[in-house]
Amino acid sequence: MDASQDQFAIRVRDLVVGFGRQTVLDHLSLDVRRGEILGLVGASGGGKSVLMRTIIGLIPRRGGTIEVMGQPTGGHGRGAATIWGILFQQGALFSSLTVRQNIQFPLRENLVLSQELMDEIAIAKLEMVGLRAQDADKYPSELSGGMTKRVALARALALDPPILFLDEPTSGLDPIAAGDFDALIKTLQKTLGLTVFMVTHDLASLTTVCDRVAALADGKIVAIGPMRELLQSEHPWVRAYFHGKRSQMLQHEMR
């Protein structure tokens, strides 16, 4: 692995993904730098979730290459679970399992550990996401929306992966819970050195948490850079997207 590769956590080149006659991603290329929080915006149904799922190997590709941590995807085998953690858009917890059991699920799947050690890890992860040990024995139905996201995050980070995928993590949360979740992501990125790939429509997240923002339109990344650069983009879709959001943004900046 040479130094230029080493700079990137994820490299996607010329990716083509489709279903039947529909082409969703059309020669898409994207680099995610190590240690950054990259936000991904795009029209609803534009392929954001498909991109994430293709990177982690859940959806087959028709063309192109994907490298994660310098290795082609598929090359990680069973080790993949230790490379990335994922918060799916419909990222429900297992409703029949307690918080503790949910967090321990990836540990059970991938490692052989004593129950005692697994319990220690579950509590440590709970505390890492700002919850308390007392929450460990609750069931998902007993949690608020914000707590549910935090538990899902604790589960995603159970195996200490260097990369975290978040698919619209703050949608459905009230602005305070969303802001708290964003602050947590930023803290974890800094303290754990995580690389975060986050699909979001949340302007506050884009402006305050993301180091760079990528815009997906017509199956491609049409703009990428710090938020202030995206705001200057000449691309018609990017302009339209942020123009509609501009008044919201100004309000946000004045707070």
Ligand X SMILES: Nc1ncnc2c1ncn2[C@@H]1O[C@H](COP(=O)(O)OP(=O)(O)O)[C@@H](O)[C@H]1O
Binding region for ligand X (CB under 6 A): 19, 24, 42, 44-50
Encoded amino acid at 188, one letter: L
**Residue 219's binding partner, choosing from ligand X, Mg ion, none, with beta-carbon cut-off 5 to 8 A by kind?**
none
**Residue 46's binding partner, choosing from ligand X, Mg ion, none, with beta-carbon cut-off 5 to 8 A by kind?**
ligand X
Q: Does 200 bind Mg ion (CB under 5 A)?
A: no
The separation between the first and the last C-alpha atoms of the chain, rounded to the nearest angstrom, is: 45
Q: Does 170 bind Mg ion (CB under 5 A)?
A: no
- What are φ and ψ of residue 235, in 5° steps? -65, 130
CB 8 to ligand X: min, Å: 23
Given the complex with Mg ion, which of 101 and 148 has the nearer CB atom? Answer: 148
CB 108 to ligand X: min, Å: 27
* Greatest C-alpha distance within the chain: 56
C-beta pairs of 107-112 under 8 Å, 24+ apart in sequence: 107/158, 107/159, 109/81, 110/78, 110/81, 110/82, 110/159, 111/159
Q: Which residues are CB-contacts of 247 (< 8 A; sequence separation ≥ 6)?
A: none
Q: Does 148 bind Mg ion (CB under 5 A)?
A: no
**Residue 191's binding partner, choosing from Mg ion, ligand X, none, with beta-carbon cut-off 5 to 8 A by kind?**
none
CB 132 to ligand X: min, Å: 33
CB 240 to ligand X: min, Å: 16
User: What 3-state DSSP class applies to 68?
Assistant: strand
CB 206 to ligand X: min, Å: 15
Given the complex with Mg ion, which of 8 and 197 has the nearer CB atom? Answer: 197
Give the Cα separation of 39 and 247 in Å (integer): 20
Give the Cα separation of 87 and 80 in Å (integer): 15
CB 23 to ligand X: min, Å: 10
The dihedral region occupied by 69, where left means phi > 0, alpha psi between -120 and 50, and beta the remainder, is: left
Q: Does 49 bind Mg ion (CB under 5 A)?
A: yes
Per-residue binding string, Mg ion, 77-96, x by CB under 5 A, is: ------------x-------
Quick one: DSSP state of residue 143?
S
Given the complex with Mg ion, which of 48 and 150 has the nearer CB atom? Answer: 48
Chain contacts with Mg ion (rule: CB under 5 A): 48-49, 89
